[in-house]
Each structure stands twice: as C-alpha cells, then as structure tokens.
C-alpha cells in the first residue's frame, strides 16, 4: 500500500511508539509485505529467523523488536510488538468505513456498464466501460475493474487475505493481518458465478487481460494471473502465486503458495501443484509432472500386484 503522500519517519516512530535508529528526516512512501516491498517502503519483522531477510530486502525501513545491524541508508523502528505497529498503521491509512448504500457514491462506474440489483460496490471502486455485474456480486473497497469485464452472480472481489500472524504464546494463536491491498482486474476478463478473489495483504492481486474463469474459482492474496489464462471450475490458487500468460488449469486443480507456472502450461483436472512448473508443457497428477510420464507411472503402479505375484511364483520354484 502506498501512502497518499510521503510520511516523515519521525512521525511514524512517534505514531507507533518506536525508538528510531536512522535518519529521522527520511520519508516513507508505503507499507508492504516482504514479497512486494520496494525502496521507500516500511516492512515489519518479529522473529529472529527473518531479521536478515527483512533487513536485506528492498524495504528501506524495518519495524523490528530487537536492535540489530542494518546497512547505511536504511532505518530501524524498535517496538515490542511489530505486528501491532503494522496494524496501527494499516488502520490509520485504510480505516474501516461502513457502507451507506449498495453502491457507494464514491464508486466510479464507466459508460455502458450495467450493475444488476443486489450487487454491492464499495468505496473508491473503479469499474470501466461496458461491464456486466450480475446480482449479488460484491466488489469491496479500492478494487479496480477494467473495460468489458463480466462478473457472474455471487462472486466476491476483494475479500481479506487468508493471512495470519502466528504466535503460540498468545491465547489466540492466529491473528489476521488486516488487508490494505487491492484487486485489479484488467480488460476483457470474465469471472464465473461464486468465485472469490482475495485482495493483496498490502499490494495488488491482479488478473490479466482476457483471462476467463469458470464457477467457484478461488484466487489467493497477492497472486498475479497473466493474460488469456483459462481456469475451469473449482480451481484453487493460494497466495503470492505468479501464473504467466496463456496458462490453462482444468477442473479442481490446486496450486500451492509462492510458486510460478510458466507461460502456456496446461494442467489436467484434479492435479496438485506444490512447486513451480515450466511453461509450454502438459502436466497431470500429484505432484504434477509431465502428463505422458505421469500416465505411464499410473500404468506401472496398477501392475505392481501382478508383478509381485510373478516374483512370488519365481521364489516358489
């Protein structure tokens, strides 16, 4: 999330009650998760295991709970609970605002777009021209929809990320990281009924131009879907996944988090993807492997009982 304008680091430190180590005149331009940080961003870390990763990332300013070495040009903000400091900043810059109408008066809706009765459009939503938004669609705050987009009934765009800060020393182990990112849907995308697309935690979940989705597809937070992809029903994609252009995922394919599927890969129905796949190939099974190899493997597995019987008969001779 980018701030409306750059914020002095001294103000941030005072606001979250942090001890500032570094240039108090530096300006923070936003707050982001590690997989999305850019120079000028704030990031937070609350476990020694990740201190170095966070400090060596592109983030310029680190909210942290222990003083440690940091390179020139960066700064640390020391607090007891970095996660609480993160939440305080998110709530300040993206406060909860109750809905006052089914379609927010702040929403911008382009010429030729039709919104069915019963659809809900949140604050600061932008919808382009010639779109069709069917009944009971929910488009939550700050999401951006391009031109000629079709969203079928019951779909939710911009729900909070399934993303939690875990501390087993608390009574409640899992605390939700409040999402301040967006969903950006490019031109000519079609989304089926009952789909769910989570907003980014601090950045954007993006659906590329011309991509088509069947019913009951789920896209996790911060995932980036390329152009002209095709997803059949019940595909599930976890957070921070990068799917390149022209990828086809057939029904009930499951995609694990933080991986990449290469350009024009095809994954056959009911496959599971635990790690990145190269483009231009057809995959099947769990773990998903090239379909020709996987089908041969299944044939051999079916023959295990027969082969075992042969071995036993040979031993009896």
- Catalytic site positions: 221
- Cα 235 from chain centre: 15
CB 241, CB 223: distance < 8 Å: yes
The DSSP string of 258-275 is S-EE-TT-EE-TT-EE-S
Given the DSSP bridges, would you call strands 2-8 and 27-31 parallel, antiparallel or unpaired? antiparallel
CB 60, CB 28: distance < 8 Å: yes
**Token pair belonging to 10:** 């001294």
Residue bearing tokens 């659906």: 207
Q: Rounded to an integer, what distance in angstroms lies between the CA atom of residue 14 and that of residue 294?
A: 58
261 bridge partner residues: 243, 277
CA atoms within 13 A on the CB side of 94: 23
**Token pair belonging to 65:** 């709970």
């Amino acid at each position: 999330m980018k701030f409306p304008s750059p914020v002095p680091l001294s103000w941030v430190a005072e606001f979250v009650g942090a001890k500032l180590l570094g240039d108090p005149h530096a300006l923070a331009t936003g707050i982001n998760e590690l997989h999305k940080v850019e120079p000028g961003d704030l990031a937070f870390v609350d476990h020694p295991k990740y201190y170095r990763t966070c400090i060596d990332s592109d983030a310029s300013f680190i909210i942290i709970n222990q003083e440690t070495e940091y390179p020139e040009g960066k700064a640390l903000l020391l607090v007891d609970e970095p996660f609480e400091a993160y939440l305080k900043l998110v709530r300040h810059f993206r406060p909860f605002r109750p809905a006052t109408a089914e379609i927010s008066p702040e929403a911008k809706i382009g010429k030729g777009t039709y919104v069915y009765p019963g659809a809900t459009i949140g604050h600061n939503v932008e919808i382009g021209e010639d779109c069709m938004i069917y009944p009971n669609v929910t488009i939550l705050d700050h999401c951006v929809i391009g031109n000629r987009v079709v969203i079928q009934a019951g779909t939710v765009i911009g729900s909070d990320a399934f993303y939690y800060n875990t501390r087993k020393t608390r009574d409640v182990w899992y605390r939700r990281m409040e999402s301040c990112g967006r969903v950006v849907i490019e031109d000519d995308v079609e989304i089926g009924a009952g789909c769910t697309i989570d907003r980014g935690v601090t950045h954007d979940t993006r659906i590329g131009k011309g991509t088509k989705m069947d019913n009951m597809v789920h896209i996790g937070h911060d995932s980036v879907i390329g152009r002209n992809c095709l997803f059949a029903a019940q595909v599930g994609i976890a957070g921070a996944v990068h799917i390149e252009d022209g990828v086809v995922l057939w029904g009930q394919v499951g995609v694990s988090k933080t991986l990449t599927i290469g350009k024009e890969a095809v994954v056959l129905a009911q496959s599971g993807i635990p790690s990145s796949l190269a483009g231009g190939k057809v995959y099947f099974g769990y773990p998903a492997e090239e379909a020709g190899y996987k089908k041969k493997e299944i044939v051999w597995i079916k023959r295990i009982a027969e082969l075992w019987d042969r071995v036993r008969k040979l031993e009896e001779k």
